[in-house]
């Protein structure tokens, strides 16, 4: 069994959902503590994995996913080319949130110190988007498995 066979849409979805759950738990446990970069990293990484789960479910190879890298904007554009994405369509606010966090996530600025002003989207938009995508993508994966 090669890596392409072992890396399934359902597996990517599970990991994306786990990062989302970790973000939600961290928010619940640390509401008064300012550790925003970790919360944003978990939310953005969840988003990356969920979109990759969608793309994998729609026959993208691992090589194709690797070419898209960690760029949330590129991943979103690739997903939007698929008819099935219409069922998951983003609101204007959600798209703006993704576009705002994308350069920080792709540039590893949520993991490593980079000086300068940063403007993040409301974390709630990313969390709600991830929840909605998680449910919708899982339904599509299970539908395809039948």
- List Cβ neighbours of 133 (8 Å cut-off, separation of 6 or more): 47, 50, 51, 54, 88
- Please tell me the pTM assigned to this model: 0.95
Q: Which residues of 32-65 are buried (b: 16+ CB within 10 A; e: fewer)?
A: eeeeebebbbbbbbbbbbbbbbbbbbbebeeeeb
- List Cβ neighbours of 99 (8 Å cut-off, separation of 6 or more): 73
pLDDT in tens, 71-123: 999 999 999 999 999 999 899 999 999 999 999 999 999 999 999 999 999 99
Q: Domain boundaries in the chain?
A: 3-145
Q: What's the pLDDT at 89? A: 87
What superfamily does domain 3-145 belong to in CATH? Answer: Nucleotidyltransferases  domain 2 (1.20.120.330)
Whole-angstrom distance, CA of residue 71 vs CA of residue 146: 31
User: ∠ CA(134), CA(139), CA(141), 5° rounding?
Assistant: 95
Q: Which of 89, 94, 86 is closest to 121 using CA atoms?
A: 94
Percentage of the chain modeled with pLDDT above 70: 98
Q: Is 125 a residue whose pLDDT tops 80?
A: yes
């Amino acid at each position: 069994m090669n890596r392409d066979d072992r890396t399934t849409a359902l597996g990517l979805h599970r990991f994306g959902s786990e990062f989302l759950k970790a973000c939600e738990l961290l928010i619940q446990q640390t509401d008064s503590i300012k550790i925003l970069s970790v919360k944003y990293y978990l939310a953005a990484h969840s988003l990356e994995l969920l979109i990759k789960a969608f793309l994998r479910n729609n026959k993208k190879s691992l090589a194709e996913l690797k070419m898209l890298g960690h760029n949330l904007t590129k991943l979103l554009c690739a997903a939007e080319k698929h008819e099935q994405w219409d069922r998951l369509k983003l609101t204007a606010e959600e798209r703006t949130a993704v576009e705002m966090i994308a350069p920080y996530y792709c540039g590893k600025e949520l993991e490593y110190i980079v000086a300068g002003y940063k403007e993040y989207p409301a974390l709630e938009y990313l969390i709600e988007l991830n929840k909605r995508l998680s449910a919708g993508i899982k339904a599509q994966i299970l539908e395809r498995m039948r």
